[in-house]
Structure 1
Amino acid sequence: MTASPIRVLLVDDHAMLRAGFRTILGTQPDIEIVGEAATGADAVAQAAALHPDVITMDVQMPDMDGIEATRRIVADPDITAAIAIVTTFDRDDYLYQALDAGASGFLLKNAGPEDLIAAVRALAAGDGMLAPEVTRRVLARFAGSAPATAPVAMAEPSPPRTAPAPVALAEPFTEREAEVLSLLADARSNAEIAAALFIGEATVKTHVSRILQKLGARDRVQAVVLAHRLGLA
């Protein structure tokens, strides 16, 4: 039986960029572009109407920016799409706002086509995806030791960042789950975790699922963020 293709909604105010993403993703037999939006408000409406699996979301758009659109989509219990922020600007404020809003991925538009395809597949599988150049900054920030980096100068001010919501662990981790979480925080894949702990990948998936459940996290990226807030990673 053939699995259903991954349904993707493309959100960007530049038609040429959407066309490029559509060309890249549309060549993959397991991915289907179900819609496009040019504004944040349209993205929220399209997400509710089309129920995509994954949304690629620009940040700077007219009407409503991608951060606010992400926040509204994630807050809607009827929408289950995972959101990847795809932006030109390597700015810490955008990165942290996106994660606080509930995004599961963060990519730069200079990433290769294979990175965009991999991100869509990872998010559809319930995983997260961060650009390699920002992963360490995320971990450092939520560990309380983020280096000060100046954002790229821009014409319009960025919106204020909301404070992270307090989190609490409902059930303690087992020793093995703590080991898996530590390796997750080091951006290891399931295969790498399995090799490091001498266990099978299926066992790793089970542990990751339990970690997400205990943290109340949507995916691996959010799990690492929450774990750092709790001082567990």
Structure 2
Amino acid sequence: MANCPDCQDRGLIKNEKGEYIQCHCVTKKSHDLKQVQSLIPPLYRNKSFSDFNLSYYSKFHFDRERNISYYESAQRALKAAVNFVKLLSLNKPTKGLYFSGPVGSGKTLLAAIIANEAIKAGKEVLFVVVPEFLEKVKQSFGEEDDGFLMKKALSSELLILDDLGAHNYTEWTRNTLYLIINHRLNYQLPVIITTNIGLEDLESYLGERTTSRIFQLCHHYWLPVDLDIRLKKVRGM
């Protein structure tokens, strides 16, 4: 039995003019493959902007430093993400985005949505969780695919660095992150960063050189929540 009832797995269907065109199932297979190759976690594949629920962000809690509600802050981040995807799809130069906030504030979801939308726009995307990525790069030295992941991090049209957290950064990890950030800045390749570190504290973890370049490379958006969104979902709140 064919998987696709429209083309019977032949990959071609006739349009209204009687011309043979590529079936939608081929497009979907290609899209799914690109998602796998981009390393987007399965949990977040196919998520779209409609999945980013602003109701989880309080209109009654305020960020005193920025003098806006948590809701307004998340709304700004969402608007920036939508605008970023629009500019990227039009091949217009745009700065990356730096999403900071506590655990469970929707940073990874928003970054993954951007990645999914970028793939739809035909862009090459690499989504990596920073601690895992650094460990894989280190372990790949001398292997058959030596440097492959690093090359993708340097050259992909969009790089997502998820969970750039307050880890124990060694001189090697700092230098590796500097190399990536500096290269992408020089070649105007955007980066999306998610982290629990505010820009004001970043230098103490990554050093002055990398922090300075992230300032140049990304716009900063703060995603504050009064309670971990994952816990809210579990509790049905």
Shorter-chain TM-score range: under 0.3
Higher relative contact order (CA 8 A, sep 6+): 2
Query: Larger radius of gyration, structure 1 or 2?
Result: 2
TM-score (norm 1): 0.28
TM-score (norm 2): 0.27
